Amino acid sequence: MKKVLPIVSVFIFCLSIIGCKKENPVEETRTFYMGVTPWPADFTDKDVNDAYNFINQHCDIVSHHFDDGIPYDEAYHNNLMPVRFQQEIQTRKTKTTAGKKVFLSVAALNLTRKEKADYYREPDAGITDSIKTYWKQLAFNDAKVVTAYIRYISYLIDQFQPVCVNYGVESNLALWPRAQFDIYKDFISKVYPRLKAAYPDIPFFVSFMVDETAEGLSYASELIPYSDYIGLSAYPYVTVSSSANGNTDPKNFPPGYFDRFINLAPSKPLAFAETGYIAEDLVIQSAGLNKQGNENCQKDYLDVLLKLCKNENAKLLIWFCHKDYDAGNNSLRNLGLYQDLFAFWEDIGLTDEAGRERPAYHLWLQWMAVKKID
């Protein structure tokens, strides 16, 4: 499940935060980077700048997340990338403080998480419908698709110089038909060694959606050979069995909720590629969702993750967005672009839509004050 608003990359992502006392927890060091994406509370210059202010002041890494499709033809032929895409990259670079560490996260799948990513949504005029159709009909593991994707990832790496790369966002959908998954696994098996050969010093991994299904865990286990980290994408308030009655208190999580994935390869480092937790109720009638969220449960969830990352000597903890984006969803409604999907993550911010700091915000700053070590 992914939070991609069709018009968003024009404005670039995300949130802000100012001030707050820093009370250090008992921990003296941490091994993991802490960061967010530049996901905006609304699609205005102010909200974009606020997003980067939070990243620059209160994170030691930025997550640049690309989930808007692939410019297959441009990448395959080593042509110039679309102008809009180049502008977005430049904006991300110029708004981030020099020297800030970068985590690169790229989706090879579209939002169904069981199909090849669509063509980049804003290609230049030279990319005709016939070109898009050509790339669409190619099998996921076709040699041209593999090469195009590797060159696309390489372009982004050369632009951002990331410390690690998630090259397969959310790769283990439990509902994926077996035959389609096998084709995707073959694609991953071809991409991974070529990226490692080109960039031997960069860790590459695929991320797994955390759930309690046997299928999701099995698919993840089959991709472990092509992943340097145990990368997790976790939004448990939606699917965890303990929230079936609507109660999202993380104290009720089933034992070993995250351990099932960690234990797939205990020798590999843990990385939370993206996560978040609701601080307000989530009610979406079309999806049959009625989950009771509150700020204390959100803080307790973040506390669970921070301690888990500490105990596991994790590498990365990315909280997807720092501020609730009620305003952004309202803007989409006014444009006729809103979908209920966008509400799933609306209220996971460390601050609410008015910028009020939640308990999780203060916990975040406490851990940011802990010295990061390698």
- pLDDT, residue 341, reads 86
- pLDDT, residue 17, reads 29
Sign of the C-alpha dihedral computed for residues 278, 283, 284 and 289 taken in this order: positive
Residue 237 has pLDDT above 50, yes or no: yes
User: What is the distance between the alpha carbons of residues 261 and 256, in angstroms, rounded to a whole number?
Assistant: 9
Q: Which residue has the higher pLDDT, 255 or 22?
A: 255
- pLDDT, residue 25, reads 59
Residue 23 has pLDDT above 80, yes or no: no
pLDDT digits (tens, 9 = 90+) for 313-359: 999 999 999 999 999 999 999 999 899 989 999 999 999 999 999 99
pTM: 0.92
pLDDT digits (tens, 9 = 90+) for 137-151: 999 999 999 999 999
User: What is the distance between the alpha carbons of residues 29 and 10, in angstroms, rounded to a whole number?
Assistant: 38
Share of the chain above pLDDT 90, in %: 90
Over the chain, what is the mean pLDDT?
A: 93
Band (pLDDT 50/70/90 cuts) for residue 8 is very low
Phi, psi of 286 (to 5 degrees): -65, -25
Give SS3 for 101.
strand
Q: Which of 151, 144, 9 has the alpha carbon at shortest distance from 66?
A: 9
Please state the domain extents for the chain: 8-372
User: What is the distance between the alpha carbons of residues 194 and 96, in angstroms, rounded to a whole number?
Assistant: 29
What's the chain's length in residues? 374
**Residue whose entry in the numeric block shows the structure tokens 């041209």:** 144
- pLDDT, residue 5, reads 39
Question: How much is the average pLDDT of 284-299?
Answer: 95
Residue 360 has pLDDT above 90, yes or no: yes
Region for 339 from its dihedrals, namely left if φ exceeds 0, alpha if ψ lies in -120 to 50, beta otherwise: beta
Question: How much is the average pLDDT of 214-241?
Answer: 97
CA distances to 60, 318, 326, 368 from 70, in Å: 28, 23, 28, 34
Q: DSSP letter at 108?
A: S
- pLDDT, residue 9, reads 39
Residue 218, both tokens? 């099995």
Q: Which residue has the higher pLDDT, 302 or 23?
A: 302
Question: How much is the average pLDDT of 47-61?
Answer: 97
Highest mean pLDDT out of 9-13, 17-21, 74-78, 340-344? 74-78
Q: Which residues of 61-84 are buried (b: 16+ CB within 10 A; e: fewer)?
A: bbbbbbbbbbbbbbbbeeeebbeb
Question: How much is the average pLDDT of 192-210?
Answer: 98
- pLDDT, residue 24, reads 53
Single-letter code of the amino acid located at 279: A
Question: How much is the average pLDDT of 23-40?
Answer: 86
Give the homologous superfamily in CATH for domain 8-372.
Answer: Glycosidases (3.20.20.80)
- pLDDT, residue 27, reads 78
Residue 62 has pLDDT above 60, yes or no: yes
